[in-house]
Amino acid sequence: MLHLTLRQLQVFDAVARHLSFSRAARELHLTQPAVSMQVRLLEESVGLPLFEQLGKRIYLTEAGREMQQYGQIIATQLREAEAVFEQMKGLEHGELRIAVASTANYFATQLLSRFCQCHPGVEVHLEVSNRADLLLALEQNRIDLVIMGQPPEGYDLEAASFMENPLVLIASPRHALAGRHGISVEVLANETLILREPGSGTRGATERFFQSHGLVLRSGLVMNTNEAIKQAVQADMGLAVVSLHTVTLELQTQQLVVLDVLGFPLRRNWFVVHRRLKRLSPVAQAFKTFLLAEGRQVAQLLQPGPVPGAAG
């Protein structure tokens, strides 16, 4: 039978995440010898080495990787137990661990602000990541909820749509197509598009749209942030498909324009996502309920004005 303590698991988790005894010691406000002793006691209890040193670096052994997974499961169960007790006390306290797609961060903070006004005692932990990292966070069960575009098939996830995510084609106001109406899709075949990184939901929607019209994308640049893409479009380096929610300020200040292209905007939605069998904490369940009730109202507040092709 294993004889270990939660403190040992906490210290082990820090070392496993940093792959460094010294950085783990700084995080936990312990001395390095104290960290080494806790890991040694845990290894003695397991009967196997959890780390190995090659040169100046340390790595997890096979046993260490197994221990890391079990440690994450134990930590999750403890958080769930804490949430149950918080439920008995109401929503005056508790933690909300949420991760959002980088594009969703433009409105997620407004949603969180509204929620926290109703529940001022809630502590929010917010991660902003790309699509691949969001799926990894769900797989590892590190967070309560994720806000993202359409989740992929093949994952055991529960997803609920809470607001629209129209994708629009943006250009510099100086672009030759700016101000034209009813632009045909075929015209875009001669234009350079600035794309997000492979795996991005926006890029996937853009590629599917062009493929459905038998067109090949001409991509001159690939960027992994919306801010970089907007700046490149402002510099007249090409066109880009982005979420309307990411360009509210630029449209209001006329730094960018939305092109009136037939078939745009592309109709997509934002989803609140979690693992199907995950037991949501009372705070997480309350935030999910809040999103489903308030999401569309927030979307209306974010609308920058009439969008070409948005009617109907």
Task: Summarize pLDDT for 216-228 with one digit per residue, the tens.
Answer: 877 778 888 889 9
Distance CA 79, CA 82 (A): 5
Please measure the distance between the N-terminal and C-terminal CA atoms of the chain and give it in whole angstroms: 66
Give the domain ranges of the chain: 6-71, 90-164+269-302, 167-258
DSSP-derived secondary structure letter, 260 = -
* pLDDT for residue 46: 92
CATH of domain 6-71: 1.10.10.10
Q: Residue 118 pairs with which residues in a beta bridge?
A: none
Helix (H) or strand (E) holding 145: strand 145-148
Amino acid at site 81: A
CATH 3.40.190.10 is the classification of domain 90-164+269-302: yes
Q: Do domains 90-164+269-302 and 167-258 have the same CATH topology?
A: yes
The number of beta carbons lying within 10 Å of the beta carbon of residue 134 is: 25
The number of beta carbons lying within 10 Å of the beta carbon of residue 203 is: 19
Mean pLDDT by 10 residues, the chain (312 residues): 88 94 94 94 93 92 94 87 67 81 84 86 88 87 89 85 91 93 89 86 88 82 89 93 89 93 91 89 88 75 56 41
**pTM beyond cutoff 0.75:** no
Q: Out of 3.40.50.300, 3.40.190.10, 3.40.50.2300, 3.30.950.10, select the CATH number for domain 167-258.
A: 3.40.190.10
Distance CA 104, CA 237 (A): 24
